[in-house]
Amino acid sequence: MLPNEVTQVGWDVGGAHLKAAALDAAGRPIAALQVPSPLWQGLDRLEAALDQALAQLPDGAAAARHAATMTGELADLFADRGEGVRRIVATLRQRIAAPLRVFAGARGFVDPDQAAAFTADVASANWLATAQLVAEKLGEGLLVDIGSTTTDLVAVRAGRIDAGGRTDYERLSSGELVYTGVVRTSLMALSDAIEFEGLRVPLMAEHFATTADVYRLTGELDERGDQHPAADGGEKTLFGSARRLARMIGRDGRELPMESWQLLAASFRAAQLERIRRAAQQVLLRAAVAPSAPLVAAGSGSFLVPELARSLHRPVIEFARLVDSRIEPVALSWCAPAVAVALLAQRARA
């Protein structure tokens, strides 16, 4: 085999994005990418995203072995999760001619034909893939994967996953799944009121703005990760974001200077970070993770994890540092579940 030949591809099929990672024969990631895939608009969006990703991956990816995990079965395109798993797997098989395995959590990898019998294991298992890799590489700590839409908080101890829940319902209840992210979350979901100009101002319960607007105004948003339209379909500029934030408190963006709206963005940022901090503390206490164990930063919102770690008096390590790779660390972080499922599948095959 050639040194850079693709031997394994990992897929993470989300409801809003498709992520892919390609490994060489030595098990090193040589590519990782994210493309928009708004599943709620139809399976043709996933088909197009798969075609786009395969075209962007290195030569040979289409003929390599493939492994997939998912959360997209939750999209309201499907009547229930079981239907979602079956139709997503069928779409993958249609678009990928090479051998395909599906990640089924504790069951390991199953053939596509078996996935229909194990839909509960296949559904929303991408966090398990990432956490399993972190547990093996690190031993003890807390995986903090802050994505565009959700945050996964998974404790690992003694080289094993220590999760209080497995289903979305159980994970929401245990604090391990926080439905908040740095791009697509509507600001009315962060709090019922926000600090601004010395007042506690109630928020309008309207989809006027998203967290992408917040982090554009704070200067932390990587525009490559903002792949969906703004809440109003408008421009993704500082003023566009300021205008949308102003509407959340019944104001007009032209009423105040940009600095004022950036202060408002900082208040939204603080509210979101506090929500994640409370959940992380809950998970750390339940799992009795050692005080010296680090937080592992992953996802498009990994830029928030260092501050989160400071508030919890813990060190922090980037997910990319756990993986031997020569590609951009931010790409590895954004695509952590795809990277993890590729590595786990390659090892299982070996």
Q: What confidence tens digit (pLDDT) does each residue in 79-131 have?
A: 999 999 999 999 999 999 999 999 999 999 999 999 999 999 999 999 999 99
Residues 221, 295 within the same domain = yes
Enumerate helices (H) and strands (E) in the chain, giving the number of each.
12, 14
Structural domain contains residue 304: yes
As given in the structure block, the two tokens for residue 86 are 């079956």
Residues 86, 112 within the same domain = yes
Residue whose structure tokens are 């979101």: 272
pLDDT value of position 5: 87
157 bridge partner residues: 160
State the pLDDT confidence band at 1, using cuts at 50, 70 and 90.
very low
- CATH number, domain containing residue 60: 3.30.420.40
Residues 199, 94 within the same domain = no
Give the total number of structural domains in the chain: 2
Structural domain contains residue 95: yes
Structural domain contains residue 250: yes
Inform me whether the pLDDT recorded for 139 exceeds 70: yes
Structural domain contains residue 1: no
State the pLDDT confidence band at 271, using cuts at 50, 70 and 90.
very high
Structural domain contains residue 72: yes
Mark 19-53 as b/e (b = at least 16 C-beta within 10 Å).
Answer: bbbbbbeebbbbbbbbbbbbbeeebebbebbbebb
Inform me whether the pLDDT recorded for 289 exceeds 80: yes
Residue whose structure tokens are 């839409």: 149
Inform me whether the pLDDT recorded for 220 exceeds 80: yes
Residues 101, 118 within the same domain = yes
What number is the average pLDDT over the span 156-165? 95
Q: Which residue, 114, 68, 47, is CA-closest to 335? A: 68
Residues 52, 179 within the same domain = no
Inform me whether the pLDDT recorded for 350 exceeds 90: no
The secondary structure of residue 18, as a DSSP letter, is E
pLDDT value of position 204: 97
Residues 108, 204 within the same domain = no
Note whether 35 and 91 are within 8 A (CB).
Answer: no
Residues 145, 188 within the same domain = yes
Structural domain contains residue 128: no
pLDDT above 70: percentage of residues in the chain? 99
pLDDT value of position 2: 53
Q: How far apart are CA 90 and CA 277, in angstroms?
A: 38
Q: How far apart are CA 96 and CA 90, in angstroms?
A: 10
Residues 13, 66 within the same domain = yes
Residues 193, 92 within the same domain = no
Domain hosting 274: range is 140-314
Note whether 185 and 161 are within 8 A (CB).
Answer: no
Inform me whether the pLDDT recorded for 324 exceeds 80: yes
Residues 295, 164 within the same domain = yes
Inform me whether the pLDDT recorded for 277 exceeds 90: yes
Residues 102, 194 within the same domain = no
Residues 295, 336 within the same domain = no
- CATH number, domain containing residue 214: 3.30.420.190
Note whether 312 and 305 are within 8 A (CB).
Answer: no
pLDDT value of position 3: 53
Residue whose structure tokens are 């989160």: 308
Structural domain contains residue 131: no
Q: What is the length of the chain?
A: 350
Q: How far apart are the first and last CA of the chain?
A: 15
The model carries a pTM of: 0.95
